[in-house]
Amino acid sequence: MNYRIEGGNLPVVIISLNPGESVQCESGAMSWMTAGIKMSTSTGGGIGKMFGRMVTGEGLMVNTYTAEQAGEIAFASSFPGSIKAVEINGNSFLAQKGAFLASFGNVEQSVGIQKNVGGGFFGGEGFLMQKFTGNGIVFLEVDGSAIEYDLNPGEKMIVDTGYTVMMDSTVNLEVEMVKGVKNVLFGGEGLFNTTLTGPGHIMLQTMPVSSTAAILYKYMPKTK
């Protein structure tokens, strides 16, 4: 398997498969493919797995594309931004809802529950995230550009709502209320910030869909 990411700010990942190799994606994610690649649809592990995908913003069913002969298959991003390939080798990581695009290899997707419940309700990243384990490559959709950091043990990154794409399972997520009445009322940053504490790798995004939608809403004509 080889892959390349093209398209600039409107990206697509094009995966070259050898005979017998397969990729998985949520239903409806495939953009185009060459002849000789067969699709099969399943629950991806039963009702429990299907429900887990539903609550984390993914489709109910999983499509598996297997090459009967060498060919290419493409998955385009649903929003202007980036596509990032995250390799896992027996480790695991958590990703925001709706970030999953496709995967290759022995990758298991499940529900990742944040340790800090308050972080889920108030931090904007969602109490339920997607958890990926196994060995392979996971392709993630990123809103805008992806900025990555490797946090040392105890090192912290304070992140505004919606800017976290993924983090290693070793990273701790907590929520801290913005201090100071003036900051809360006039700072424009909301009541809470998400604090990510290392060790581990994190990926942030520069243009969350929710923030973009809020800005665009200001310019939409209002009905009287």
What confidence tens digit (pLDDT) does each residue in 28-63 have?
Answer: 889 999 999 999 987 665 555 555 545 555 556 789
**Contact between residue 133 and residue 110 where contact means Cβ atoms under 8 Å apart:** yes
pLDDT of residue 47: 56
Confidence label for 208 from pLDDT (cuts 50, 70 and 90): confident
d(CA 221, CA 40): 44
d(CA 110, CA 112): 6
d(CA 130, CA 136): 16
Quick one: 2-218 is in which CATH superfamily?
Mitochondrial biogenesis AIM24 (3.60.160.10)
pLDDT of residue 178: 63
pLDDT of residue 181: 45
Residue 183: is its pLDDT beyond 70? Answer: no
Domain ranges (residues) in the chain: 2-218
d(CA 111, CA 44): 13
Average pLDDT over residues 184-199: 69
d(CA 16, CA 10): 20
Q: What is the pTM of this model?
A: 0.82
Neighbours of 118 (CB within 10 A): 15
Looking at every residue in the chain, the average pLDDT score rounds to: 83
DSSP letter assigned to residue 210: H
Per-residue pLDDT tens digits for 94-141: 999 889 999 999 999 888 765 554 544 444 455 578 999 999 999 999
pLDDT of residue 48: 54
Query: Cis link prior to 153 (omega < 30° from 0)?
Result: no
Average pLDDT over residues 82-100: 93
Q: Measured between alpha carbons, how far apart are the two ends of the chain, in Å? A: 56
pLDDT of residue 51: 53
Confidence label for 146 from pLDDT (cuts 50, 70 and 90): very high
